Each structure stands twice: as C-alpha cells, then as structure tokens.
Amino acid sequence: MRSTLVSQFGDPRQVIALVDAERVAPGPGEVEVALSLAAINPSDLIPVTGAYSARTTLPFVPGFEGFGTVARVGAGVTSLKPGDRVIPIGASGLWQEYLLRPAEWCFALPDDISDRDAATSYVNPLTALQLIEAPRVHFGSLEGRRVGVTAAGSAIGGMLMKLLVGEQVDAVGIVRSQRSADRLAVEAPGRIVLGNEIRLPDLRLDAIIDAVGGPFAGDLILRTLEPGGAFIQYGALSGVPVPQTAILARSDIRFSFLWLRTWVHSAGRAAIEAAFAKSFDGLRSGLFSSRIAAVYPLSQLDAALAHQADAGRDGKLLLDPRC
Ligand SMILES: NC(=O)c1ccc[n+]([C@@H]2O[C@H](COP(=O)([O-])OP(=O)(O)OC[C@H]3O[C@@H](n4cnc5c(N)ncnc54)[C@H](OP(=O)(O)O)[C@@H]3O)[C@@H](O)[C@H]2O)c1
C-alpha cells in the first residue's frame, strides 16, 4: 500500500519518504481504516524536524488528522463495521492508504459532514474549543474581556475569533500582513490589527492566545497585557520560544500552554465525543470551516510539501491517500 515514512529527523521536504508498505490485518480490538483524506498541519511537520525528539520514536508515519471508512475489523470489535465513516485519532499515521487503530480511538463521522470538512474536523476545532476555556476559567466569565489572538490569519486563528465573538468577547485578531488582515476581515468577526516584531500594536488586553512565540510574544506580554491577565500559548510559528525574561517580568500574569495531544490522552472518550459533536455543529454553521487551498494525491507529496512551505499559500492543503 501507498505510505510515507520518516526515518530520520530533518527538513520535512527531505526526510519524509514515499514508500510501499505492507498491508496488515487488524488484530483483536483494532480496525483497519481505508483513509480518504488527510490534512497537512504545522503540527504534523514539527515532530518531523526533531523538535520533539525526546518523545518521538523513529521511524514513524506522519499525519495526525483525516478520515476514512472502516475496511476490516479485528476480533471483538462490535462498535464499528466495514463501511462506517470514522475519524481515527490518538496517534500519527494518516499519511498512508490504510491505518490500523484500536476501535476506541475511532470516532463516528456523520454522513452530512462533507469530505473536505471531515478532513479538518479534529485538530483545530478541538484545540480552539479547549483554548477558549483557559481565559474563561481564569476570569470566571469571558464576556466583555479583551482577548488578543496572534497569527489570527491561520485556520485556527479564524476559528478562535468566531468563537470569542460568539462569547461576547472584544476579540482582537493580530496578523502580520495586510493580506491576512483583508482576508480575515471577510471571514471572521472582531477587530483586526497589524502587528509583528517591528510594529507592536497599540493595545491593552486582558488575555492573549498565542501561536507565534519569540520576541513578538515577549513584547506583547510586557506591553499590552493588563495586570492580572492571562497568556495562553499553543504554538511557536516563529520557531522561537517565548523569552523567559518576559515571563519572569510579569509575575502578575497567569501563563499556560495547551497541547491538544495532552488533552486528548487525558479527557476520556465521552469528553472527546462531546467535543466532536461541537466540531460537527461548527462545521455545519461555518464556524469551524477551513479554507482549502488544494488537494494533492499522496503520490505527489513533494509538490504538496513545497506548497505547504510557500508563504503565499492561501489555506489548508489536503492529501488523498487513495492515489
Ligand atoms: N498546541 C496544539 O495542540 C495545537 C493544535 C493546533 C494548532 N496548533 C498550532 O497553531 C498554529 C496554527 O496552525 P494552523 O493549522 O491554523 O496553521 P495554518 O492554517 O497553516 O496557518 C499558518 C498561518 O499562520 C501565519 N503565520 C505563520 N508564521 C507566522 C509568524 N511567525 N507570525 C505571525 N503569523 C504567522 C501565516 O499567516 P499569514 O502570513 O497569512 O498571516 C500562516 O498562513 C501552529 O503553530 C500549530 O502548531 C497547535
């Protein structure tokens, strides 16, 4: 079967190989999922670089998000049957034609969710839903709070803006380019400001939800957060951590980091099912829709990864493992 493999850490475009792998029958409690579409997310590529080398075992098949249909079930599986549409989660491995997962890590996908929506129904919607809980818990209520969202032009940034405005938050989307500002203005509600390491936006915020990190996040912490505020980090698109000096200088701020993987492995199946139900509702209403820039056959992985690295990319890329 068509598959991919990372055998050494490095530049994703150089170390993710297309390989012909053996198709294995599901064991007891497992299902084999014939994958239909998989997403390319920053969180798929970061482990490939070796950034989490202490908790990444080589070799591995990348891809944390996508969906497919059950092809075969192993002994003892009664909850699923061949033909069921499912979202397999809990481990990487979706950038291949067939995936084995324990049945309890596969979540039913409603028929009315389109293939493209299904392929992006997990990572960003479930993370966004968890992210807005951190300031809610910190302040007791979100209503009327001023919350900044960095990298607001990203797929998850747009979801956060819509979620926050829906909670009566004064949401401020911070984007690094006029192009993103113009696009976000069409797609999401809330205020939009330009901000980057050179040009710090003139803001006062109660909380910041950050995916950029580095000196820019440090400046935001030092110069825009009100006393007693909250800083929630969930990404480091700049490739640089938040400076410790900024964290140490603001002992009045509550700092936290959210990693979907940690939540998923501790939440339990009922909580994950409830989160998926909210994701599907959000996809039906458009709240969690992701703009799709292109769908590539998995056999054209090189072209897909080149497009992913292109700064002009205008939306998510999907892989079709069937071709
Ligand atoms: N912690 C978790 O569990 C978790 C879960 C999901 C996502 N994430 C993180 O969320 C982030 C966004 O993910 P996504 O899937 O939404 O990505 P995406 O749709 O691919 O969007 C990335 C966008 O972010 C903007 N960007 C990139 N580098 C930036 C920088 N240095 N400063 C400001 N903006 C920058 C760019 O937009 P413009 O250039 O157009 O402005 C780019 O198009 C990633 O860091 C990802 O790892 C974390």
d(CA 77, CA 272): 20
Give pLDDT, residue 53.
Answer: 84
Q: How sure is the predictor about 51, in pLDDT bands with cuts at 50, 70 and 90?
A: confident
Substitution candidate for ligand 1 out of 40, 150, 237 with most atoms within 8 A of CB: 237
Tell me whether residue 57 is in a domain.
Answer: yes
Last residue of a domain, one of 220, 243, 260: 260
User: At residue 199, does pLDDT exceed 90?
Assistant: no
Last residue of a domain, one of 260, 282, 309: 260
Are 52 and 106 in the same domain? yes
d(CA 123, CA 136): 21
Are 135 and 255 in the same domain? yes
Tell me whether residue 266 is in a domain.
Answer: no
Are 154 and 83 in the same domain? no
Give pLDDT, residue 52.
Answer: 82
Q: Is 149 in the pocket of ligand 1 (CB under 6 A)?
A: no
Q: Distance from the CA of 104 to the center of ligand 1, in angstroms?
A: 30
CATH of the domain at 205: 3.40.50.720
Tell me whether residue 282 is in a domain.
Answer: no
Q: Is 258 in the pocket of ligand 1 (CB under 6 A)?
A: yes
Are 132 and 169 in the same domain? yes
Alpha helices in the chain (DSSP H): 12-15, 42-49, 115-119, 123-131, 133-139, 155-166, 178-187, 214-223, 244-249, 260-267, 269-285, 301-309
User: At residue 168, does pLDDT exceed 90?
Assistant: yes
Helix, strand, or coil (residue 301): helix
Are 105 and 176 in the same domain? no
Q: Distance from the CA of 211 to the center of ligand 1, in angstroms?
A: 6
Are 114 and 132 in the same domain? no
Are 48 and 109 in the same domain? yes
- Which residue CA neighbors atom 36 of ligand 1 most closely? 154
Are 13 and 82 in the same domain? yes
Tell me whether residue 67 is in a domain.
Answer: yes
Q: Is 224 in the pocket of ligand 1 (CB under 6 A)?
A: no
Are 87 and 8 in the same domain? yes
User: At residue 142, does pLDDT exceed 90?
Assistant: yes
Q: Is 263 in the pocket of ligand 1 (CB under 6 A)?
A: no
Residue indicated by tokens 């909380």: 207
User: At residue 201, does pLDDT exceed 90?
Assistant: no
Last residue of a domain, one of 245, 260, 275: 260
User: At residue 198, does pLDDT exceed 90?
Assistant: no
Q: Is 177 in the pocket of ligand 1 (CB under 6 A)?
A: yes
CB 289 within 8 A of CB 117: yes
Q: How sure is the predictor about 280, in pLDDT bands with cuts at 50, 70 and 90?
A: very high
Are 57 and 98 in the same domain? yes
Structure tokens at 268: 């339990």
Q: Distance from the CA of 152 to the center of ligand 1, in angstroms?
A: 8
Substitution candidate for ligand 1 out of 64, 154, 183 with most atoms within 8 A of CB: 154
Tell me whether residue 314 is in a domain.
Answer: yes
Are 140 and 211 in the same domain? yes
Are 95 and 176 in the same domain? no
Domain count, the chain: 2
Task: Tell me what the mean pLDDT of segment 192-218 comes to.
Answer: 93
Q: Which residues, other chains included, contact 67 with Cβ-Cβ below 8 Å and sequence gap of 6+?
A: 35, 36, 37, 85, 86, 87, 88, 109, 115, 118, 119, 121
CATH of the domain at 112: 3.90.180.10
Tell me whether residue 265 is in a domain.
Answer: no
| DSSP string for 214-238 | HHHHHHHHHHTEEEEEEEEE---TT
Give pLDDT, residue 231.
Answer: 98
Tell me whether residue 18 is in a domain.
Answer: yes
Tell me whether residue 269 is in a domain.
Answer: no
Range of the structural domain that residue 51 is part of: 2-120+290-320
Q: Is 233 in the pocket of ligand 1 (CB under 6 A)?
A: no
Q: Is 41 in the pocket of ligand 1 (CB under 6 A)?
A: yes
Q: How sure is the predictor about 200, in pLDDT bands with cuts at 50, 70 and 90?
A: confident
Give pLDDT, residue 54.
Answer: 84
d(CA 309, CA 74): 39
User: At residue 196, does pLDDT exceed 90?
Assistant: no
CB 91 within 8 A of CB 105: yes
